């Protein structure tokens, strides 16, 4: 059994705007990386995404950019989350020792519509891997909805949501 998932949403903006909203650290930080992103998603770079959603805690997450095709693809790797994030304590699970791969594709469906698809895998076929994959599926679903709300309406859905 392979633990992997895909989520997708249509964004009512041109593909160049949807792509740039993920690639550009200032834009990504406006709706997703609540504590910021320290650089653009350039191929070969490792950037730090920081999440500061939980009271008094910041979570820096290194993200390694493996491949970029402007307006088409962003492929990155990061450490797998084996186990779930503990909402009560704000604690992450112990380091897993392996990475998962995230692929974000951007498909133009017309002048002002883009299909954004996010796929991540593969976790180890363990209870911790299953919990981690469910947690990340939830996270990427939330991210894609935040992207849509921010691009289409200028609304930051993450503010006050966690």
What DSSP string describes 36-49?
EESS---TT-EEEE
What are the pLDDT tens digits along the chain (162 aa)? 789 999 999 999 999 999 999 999 999 999 999 889 999 999 999 999 998 876 667 789 999 999 999 999 999 999 998 876 665 665 666 678 899 999 999 999 999 999 999 999 999 999 989 989 998 999 999 999 999 999 999 999 887 665
CATH of 3-153, one of 3.40.50.300, 3.30.530.20, 3.30.450.40, 3.40.50.720: 3.30.530.20
User: Following CA atoms 79, 94, 3, 44 in sequence, which dihedral angle do they give, to the nearest 10 degrees?
Assistant: 0
E strands, 30-96, in order? 36-37, 46-54, 57-69, 73-79
Cross-strand partners of 60: 50
Look at the alpha carbons of 52, 43, 153, 149 in this order and tell me if their dihedral is positive or negative. negative
Q: What share of the chain is helix, strand, coil (3-state, %, to 5)?
A: 25, 40, 35
Cα–Cα distances in angstroms (integers) from residue 70 to residues 73, 88, 96, 104, 148, in the given order:
7, 39, 31, 11, 19
Q: Is pTM, for the whole model, over 0.85?
A: yes
**In angstroms, rounded to a whole number, what is the distance separating the alpha carbons of residues 118 and 106?**
9
> Residue 5 and residue 14: Cα distance in Å, rounded?
25
What is the pLDDT, as a whole number, of residue 71?
98
The DSSP output letter for 126 is: S
- Per-domain residue ranges for the chain? 3-153
- The pLDDT assigned to 82 comes to 84
User: Longest Cα pair distance anywhere in the chain, in angstroms?
Assistant: 45
Handedness of CA 138, 144, 147, 148 (dihedral sign): negative
């Amino acid at each position: 059994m392979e633990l992997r998932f895909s989520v997708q949403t249509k964004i009512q903006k041109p593909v160049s705007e949807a792509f740039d909203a993920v690639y550009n650290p200032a834009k990504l930080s406006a709706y997703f990386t609540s504590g910021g992103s320290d650089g653009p998603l350039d191929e070969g770079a490792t950037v730090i995404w920081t999440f500061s959603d939980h009271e008094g805690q910041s979570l820096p997450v290194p993200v390694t950019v493996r491949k970029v095709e402007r307006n088409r693809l962003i492929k990155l790797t990061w450490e797998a989350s084996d186990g779930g994030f503990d909402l009560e304590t704000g604690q992450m699970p112990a380091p897993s020792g392996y990475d998962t791969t995230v692929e974000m594709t951007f498909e133009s469906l017309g002048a002002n519509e883009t299909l954004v698809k996010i796929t991540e895998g593969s976790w180890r076929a363990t209870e911790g891997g299953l919990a981690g994959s469910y947690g990340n599926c939830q996270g990427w679903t939330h991210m894609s909805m935040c992207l849509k709300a921010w691009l289409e309406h200028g609304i930051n859905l993450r503010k006050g949501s966690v």
